[in-house]
Structure 1
């Protein structure tokens, strides 16, 4: 046989990629080896050349974007590297209807074919396509049914005052005897859990709490080091306060709900912290939710509050830097892009100016009266903004209801529905944040500005950095630094000017 003939024959042999996925469900968790063996035997019987075997081990069939294996398979198909995609059963492809059809469409669009080694159908015929679609629909039905069963099981546990997923909880010992399950406080970790709540209320952030626990050699529930995320998960759960969060669903999918929007149920476990401490935690959590990350665990009371006043640089933020033996605040945009005039100011000058401003606010009755009037006017403006945002939120909810009706009526395809719904939900999240920010700003301050300034001056040196930052944020929008004018003698620039912008002037 000539070389060209051999090449033509080689190209005529279909190239196959075998895709295997191991389910999370124990009763249908077929080993990857068994699936691969079945698929290889199928390829031998049909004269296919196996170019690769791509696994997705222990991944749910409903998680499309988190399955690197199936994404790699589709990339190979798009690149023209394979002619056949072989799966053990059609359910291995996906357990969600929309994902099944996306995969098949992408494969068939370039002339390739998806085949099952144990459920073979000639998909070139109408009958074969029907048989395949029946198997895919059955996989979707079974998945949805299991989802309903899991939800029912979770709801039953919650009715008993137990967490939906069982497992250990930090600060508690899980007991199971005679078919009964309960949680009792663990004397070794309950005190640590209470300290974690106290530390957050007093001003420490999640990351700082985790660092302290790791430094003391205190492991988390899994025996590992604490992270910012694991600390937040333990405290936000409310389990230590005797509560459980009601599960929320979007369709059959359970979704994460921000802590400020959760509905709390009374659990069967004895609380480790009392309701007063839990309420204090929620208040502190709400206050910090809308703070920039650098201000949640600030290293300086003016973190996030310093701003350049030069219009040429876009009035950018200012960062604290150490130059020699001294600290200065420097315009970020000037450093990064060379925009505007050089803008630097010594930290000690800023603090002196801030202390003088606070003292003037604390002592001057006339200023206190004017600021009180400005605060009231600002509150009215913020309330108006909140009302407008709530109206917009109601409009989005109406659009979501109408979109669902269109889907049920068959006027909107499922893929188009998913895309439109995701856009509306993203928009809704943005508006919800606006509502939350407006509501937070509209809350009447616990103290008048004059009284707050007086207290801040009195305890400035002993307060934690975060608490100083929080109190300052109630009084000032930012501290503006404007570059000094060039010196007439040509010896450089004059000192930059500093202006404290009160909160009530910026709203």
Structure 2
């Protein structure tokens, strides 16, 4: 028995204190009400002379979801604190359905000197026979749980084999028919709304912006409720509107969350409301934003995450956008928080003007910026060409090594000659592998030419949503660096901060 438990028990001779734990199963056929469980447990406590100090429920929670059950965690905390000496459950299976968690709960309780008892399955667990009987009950509960899980998986697999979602119910943008076999058909009113949701995301709107627009229009979700950003994400990520079914994994009637990058889809029986290209565009946009920094997924400004301080004294930290009076400025975060380096502030309007001027140079194919962009393009072409040549060389060497080995096995080449030729080929192979590695390290994914991208961005600057502008700028700009101005000669104030646009092709790897 733990020290807290011994100390509390020594202070009083009162009857053993008991906590009743009740859990309602997710499965309807064994969903015994919490009230019935509590009544049975209270009768058990009266028969044994226990004083009930609390009743802790876990309503509608799976017995396999140990970390999702706040009730059982509260019970174990009371036991550890020495507040109770008995934990009363209706059946042993109420503790948990997985063997690991069952024995973990029992061990956690018994190490404190407390005892777990069942009101309907009484076993004297102080004896070997009682422990065996309890373990049999645990094994039966685990078997039953696993069997139900298999039945759910079989039911889901059967539905998917017919081109239906694993679980029934409404789907936004579709009408569910059950009169002549279950089927889903595009809804005449909401199908275009669903298509608009996909296109809006590709155009740069986030899930929050889409949900706000839907709620503003008074468009309810498939359950007649207001939209939340997570609900928009779930609908679009499912691929149902593209005529697909996601290969979801299920456990205990609950869908296991799978990251968008790890999902697989299969054809469904429903007609799509978006075509293959629109679905591909959506996935490309989702994958791109998945790898964006958290502060740039739903940016409030097109330069979010791109602004950096150029002062070594503050560690060249990020810059935040702040409103000072009627104007917005970018301010060094490190100097603001820790007082490091020199004060660094710059008007937002100046930064936007400088960035647009730089974009104009690139777009017009004039000036230093444009020349360096062209040089970067040529360098990338050379790098990709060298990588391809090195891979071709690797293929040739591997074919010669295979041929050399066949000659050795056939006895056409003596072993000393084989060793010499193989060593020479392996030296060549190592050099080719190094060329490929260097080329891949310096290769960037091919995209629109910088001048074309800059022209598109400038031409549609005021029409594009913030996120789309941010994505296009990030393809061209590594960072916008702000260097604090020097003190002026009069010793009053500072000169204007310097603004430097650092393009992708000049950034250090």
Q: TM-score, normalised by structure 1?
A: 0.82
Determine which of 377, 394, 399 is the counterpart of 1:372.
377
Alignment correspondent of 1:169: 171
Report if the CA contact (8 A) 1:203-1:464 is conserved.
Answer: yes
Alignment correspondent of 1:346: 347
Alignment correspondent of 2:90: 88
Alignment correspondent of 1:231: 232
Q: How does 1:41-52 map to 2 (within 5 A)?
A: 41-52=43-54
Alignment correspondent of 1:444: 445
Report if the CA contact (8 A) 2:152-2:253 is conserved.
Answer: no
2:337 is the alignment partner of 1:332:
no
User: In structure 2, do the counterparts of structure 1 residues 303 and 204 end up closer, same or farther at CA, with 3 Å as the change threshold?
Assistant: same
Alignment correspondent of 1:151: 153
Which ranges of 4 or more aligned residues in structure 1 deviate by more than 4 Å?
Answer: 7-10, 249-254, 373-383, 439-443
Spell out, residue by residue over 1:382-428, the C-alpha distance to the aligned partner (whole angstroms, 9 max, x if none).
99xxxxxxxxxxxxxxxxxxxxxxxxxxxxxxxxxxxxxxxxxxxxx
CA distance in 2, matches of 1:315, 1:42: 68
- Deviation of 1:299 (Å): 2.5
Determine which of 99, 108, 129 is the counterpart of 2:110.
108
Report if the CA contact (8 A) 1:61-1:92 is conserved.
Answer: yes
Determine which of 22, 25, 42 is the counterpart of 2:24.
22
User: In structure 2, do the counterparts of structure 1 residues 252 and 102 end up closer, same or farther at CA, with 3 Å as the change threshold?
Assistant: farther
Alignment root-mean-square deviation, CA: 2.7
Report if the CA contact (8 A) 1:379-1:441 is conserved.
Answer: no
User: In structure 2, do the counterparts of structure 1 residues 251 and 440 end up closer, same or farther at CA, with 3 Å as the change threshold?
Assistant: farther
Report if the CA contact (8 A) 1:343-1:481 is conserved.
Answer: yes
Q: How does 1:69-148 map to 2 (within 5 A)?
A: 69-148=71-150
CA distance in 2, matches of 1:206, 1:260: 17
Report if the CA contact (8 A) 2:86-2:117 is conserved.
Answer: yes
User: In structure 2, do the counterparts of structure 1 residues 335 and 9 end up closer, same or farther at CA, with 3 Å as the change threshold?
Assistant: closer
- Deviation of 1:172 (Å): 1.0
Q: TM-score, normalised by structure 2?
A: 0.82
User: In structure 2, do the counterparts of structure 1 residues 137 and 368 end up closer, same or farther at CA, with 3 Å as the change threshold?
Assistant: same
CA distance in 2, matches of 1:87, 1:379: 68
Spell out, residue by residue over 1:96-130, the C-alpha distance to the aligned partner (whole angstroms, 9 max, x if none).
11111111111011100001111111111111111
User: In structure 2, do the counterparts of structure 1 residues 381 and 329 end up closer, same or farther at CA, with 3 Å as the change threshold?
Assistant: farther
CA distance in 1, matches of 2:385, 2:72: 54
Unaligned runs of 5+ in 2: 1-8, 389-439
Report if the CA contact (8 A) 1:148-1:252 is conserved.
Answer: no
Which is greater in Rg? 2
Alignment correspondent of 2:314: 313
SS at match of 1:187: coil
- Deviation of 1:443 (Å): 5.8
User: In structure 2, do the counterparts of structure 1 residues 9 and 299 end up closer, same or farther at CA, with 3 Å as the change threshold?
Assistant: closer
CA distance in 2, matches of 1:157, 1:101: 36
Alignment correspondent of 1:289: 290
Report if the CA contact (8 A) 2:201-2:282 is conserved.
Answer: yes
Alignment correspondent of 2:266: 265
- Of the structure 1 ranges 316-325 and 449-458, higher mean CA displacement relative to structure 2 is found in 449-458
- Deviation of 1:279 (Å): 1.5
CA distance in 2, matches of 1:461, 1:381: 41
Matched pairs, number? 445
SS at match of 2:189: helix
Report if the CA contact (8 A) 1:382-1:441 is conserved.
Answer: no
SS at match of 1:499: strand
Alignment correspondent of 2:217: 216
- Deviation of 1:8 (Å): 8.2
SS at match of 1:147: helix
2:246 is the alignment partner of 1:245:
yes
- Deviation of 1:376 (Å): 5.6
- Of the structure 1 ranges 23-32 and 254-263, higher mean CA displacement relative to structure 2 is found in 254-263
- Of the structure 1 ranges 445-454 and 267-276, higher mean CA displacement relative to structure 2 is found in 445-454
CA distance in 2, matches of 1:350, 1:118: 74
- Deviation of 1:377 (Å): 8.2
- Deviation of 1:225 (Å): 1.4
Alignment correspondent of 1:401: none
- Deviation of 1:347 (Å): 1.3
Report if the CA contact (8 A) 2:170-2:223 is conserved.
Answer: no
CA distance in 1, matches of 2:293, 2:99: 40
Report if the CA contact (8 A) 2:62-2:252 is conserved.
Answer: no
- Deviation of 1:302 (Å): 0.8
Alignment correspondent of 1:393: none
Alignment correspondent of 1:429: none
CA distance in 2, matches of 1:8, 1:490: 77
Report if the CA contact (8 A) 1:147-1:252 is conserved.
Answer: yes
Alignment correspondent of 2:70: 68
Report if the CA contact (8 A) 1:344-1:483 is conserved.
Answer: yes
